[in-house]
Each structure stands twice: as structure tokens, then as C-alpha cells.
Structure 1
Amino acid sequence: MEKEFQFEQMEHLVLQDDKVLLRILKAEDAVHLANFAENEPELFLYTLAAPDSKEKMKAYVDAAVSEFKNKVSIPFIVYDKQQLHYAGTTRIYDFNWAFKTMTIGFTWYGKAYQGTGLNKHCKYLLLSYAFEELGMERVEFRADSQNQRSIAAMKSIGCTEEGILRSHMPNNTGGRRHSIILSILKDEWFSSVKAMLHAKL
């Protein structure tokens, strides 16, 4: 089955385990995320289009939904099944079906969900889907080179640092950011990363 055809079937895609549920982000989900924008704007320190107000969060969600409709990305809202609350968002983007590569990013969680293991559960589900369902050969991750929390989190799930793209893109303060690039390869996933990450869940 062609991947582009599968993409059209993803509207009802759900990835879940006993800790977390990921489902496709919808426009009406902005209401579930508004409290983070209003009460925890520091979450978006390294986000280019920082959704640090109720209005900006609505625009952020609308843009993600538009990307999904245009087959540009697969945005998910993250639901913590233990705390029974929406926790944040994540996204799959930059697909290259011919080369079998893609990127996971646009990931953020409210403070109450950080350090709880939620991220590892999310990444296990997303990486399993990427390598075992979509047949990807490489999954990439990117972050502002100054975002030490994000970099540490990526390395903790088994990512290998590849290098820095200098002056890669604008930041949200009017300057430019250097982007760190990390990745996990298909053979790494099956030979070691999957078991290592599963043991941490």
C-alpha cells in the first residue's frame, strides 16, 4: 500500500499504552492546551512561533491541523492516562518516503508531566510506529543547540548526536539559532534502542 494513501487514513490514528495516548490533533483541541499557553509560557522559550497566549495557541493548533490536511505533518495531542489530563503535543514531519526518513519534533509537555516518564512512553510509541509500521530507515530529531533539557531527553532515548547546523533558522527573539541534529537508525532500533527504551518505561 502506498504511504501517501495510508496518510489519508490517519485521521483516526491512535497510539497508546498504559501511560499515554496519542491521537491526531484537531482544531478544537486548542481549548485543552490554552492553560499551558497562559500559565506556563516559559515552555516555549525555544519555539519559533511561541504559542504563549490563548490566541497564539489557537493559531499554533490551526497551523498544525492545516499541515495535516496538506500531508505535511502528523500532529498529535498527548493525553496522560494516569493523570487523566492532556499534557502537550508532538509531531511527525519532514517525510521522505523515497528515502524512508522522517523527523519527530514540535514536542512539549506541561511542567506537571515533565520527568514523569511520559516522554519515553511517547517516543517508544512513535518510534515503534515509524520503524515497524511505516518502514522508516532513519528518524531524525532537532533542537536549539542551547536547549539542554531537550538534548538530554533525546540522548536518553537512544539518539546519536550527528552535528550542528549553524545559523540554521530564526529564533523567537529576532536572532538566529544553531540546531543540533540527532537520529536513530532502523538497525539501531531493532538491535539495541528498542529494548533499552522499553526497559525504561
Structure 2
Amino acid sequence: MIDFQKDYILENDKVLLRPLVENDFDQLLRYSLNELDIWDFNAFGANGEDNLRQYIKTAIENRKKQTDYVFVVIDKLQNKMVGSTRFYLINQVTKTLELGYTWYGKDHQGTYINKNSKYLLLEFALEQLGYERVAFKANIANKRSINAMKSIGCVEEGVLRNFSFDAKGNRIDLIVLSILKDEWINNVKSNLQEKINRK
């Protein structure tokens, strides 16, 4: 089970993930002000100073409510905060959760950051915490995100039609993918590790 009071630190030689805190505002602000297209697919994004403040406030409140556990992602090779990701819809009874609301600065998209981060998060959820299923969702139009999920070993489950909305308020379909604990142990973990080692 996730202990929401505990500050989990997940790291390897390339990335470090730790809980988001209010003081991270200054390091994340560059992405809110200068990389606005990061937030195109996210109805609750952090574009602009005010939205970033609200984003951080909501993330911290949701951790207290025990619904989300939000991490910042730090590139250890560059000693730089490069994005954020989270566990959400955490169900301690059914041992399922979702992994998402992931974003990275444009210079770090398509690099070693995502695969290393996802490896640490999946290992933590499925092995250390004992969860049975990690799900992922994305706007059906967000091909970059969908391809990234499939590249780490996610299995496509289906599409939730007209399920949510994007940053402009347009109704959208969401694709659902997942990784099960048995899949992780049997092949996804080793396949992902191989991809990480090649980078």
C-alpha cells in the first residue's frame, strides 16, 4: 500500500523522482512560460504562472486526500528538474492505480528520461507496493504519448468515447492501456531494461 505520508525517492543512475512540493515552483516555471504546447492535450495543465501555482496546489491537496501521489522528475546527468508524473486513481483494495499526467520539457522528450522514469515507477508499484495493474490513459489524438506508452510495453485495452476534454474544452476520446503484474515480471521489465541499456 502507498503510505501518502512518506516521501518516496525513486532513482537510478540517470533519473531521480521525488514528491512534488510547493518550492518546486521556480524550477518548473520555465516550462509553464516558455513551452506552452506541452499542455495542449491536458485540460488541467500548468501553462502560465497562475496555472502552475494551481497545478502544484491541487497536486499537494490530492496527495493529502490520498487520491494522487505526484512526483517531479530530475535528470541526474544534467542536475535539472525536467517534468512531472504521478500515480492517481489509487485503489488500495483492488490493488490498481493509474500512471499519468506525465510531461517533460521539450528537450527531454524522446530521451532516456521517460523510459527510466517509467521503469522506476512500474517496479515500485508492481513489485515493492504489490499492485496488480497499472493503467494509462491518453487523448486519442496524442500520438507521441500513445507511442511512448506502447514502447515501454503497455497493452492497448480500448477507447473511452467522448470521455473527457482537452485544453481548449473540446470533447475527446481517451485510449486506455495497461501493464499487469504478471506481464511486468514475465517480460515487460526485462524488455524495458534492454531498451534503457541501449540508450
Q: TM-score range by the shorter chain?
A: over 0.9
| Residue aligning to 2:126 | 131
Cα deviation, residue 186, structure 1: 0.6
| Residue aligning to 1:50 | 45
Identity %: 43
Instruction: Output the amino acid matched with 1:67.
Output: N
Matched residue of 1:115: which SS? Answer: coil
Match status 1:180 vs 2:175: yes
Q: Give, in whole Å, the separation in 1 of the partners of 2:148 and 2:106.
A: 14
Unaligned runs of 5+ in 2: none
| Residue aligning to 2:157 | 162
| Residue aligning to 1:112 | 107
Match of 1:64 among 51, 59, 79: 59
Q: Give, in whole Å, the separation in 1 of the partners of 2:142 and 2:88.
A: 20
Q: Give, in whole Å, the separation in 2 of the partners of 1:144 and 1:115.
A: 18
| Residue aligning to 2:195 | 200
Cα deviation, residue 8, structure 1: 3.6
Instruction: Output the amino acid matched with 2:89.
Output: D
Cα deviation, residue 97, structure 1: 1.6
Counterpart contact for 2:40–2:166, Cα < 8 Å: no
Residues 1:139 and 1:54: Cα distance change in structure 2 (over 3 Å) = same
Match of 2:69 among 47, 69, 74: 74
Match status 1:146 vs 2:104: no
Cα deviation, residue 51, structure 1: 1.4
Matched residue of 1:7: which SS? Answer: coil
**Structure with the greater relative contact order (CA < 8 A, sep ≥ 6): 1 or 2?**
2
Instruction: Output the amino acid matched with 2:8.
Output: L
Unaligned runs of 5+ in 1: none
Match status 1:34 vs 2:34: no
Taking structure 2 as the reference length, the TM-score comes to: 0.96
Cα deviation, residue 9, structure 1: 3.7
| Alpha-carbon RMSD | 1.0
Taking structure 1 as the reference length, the TM-score comes to: 0.95
Matched residue of 2:163: which SS? Answer: strand
Aligned residues, how many?
196
Which runs of structure 1 show a deviation greater than 3 angstroms over 4 or more consecutive aligned residues? none
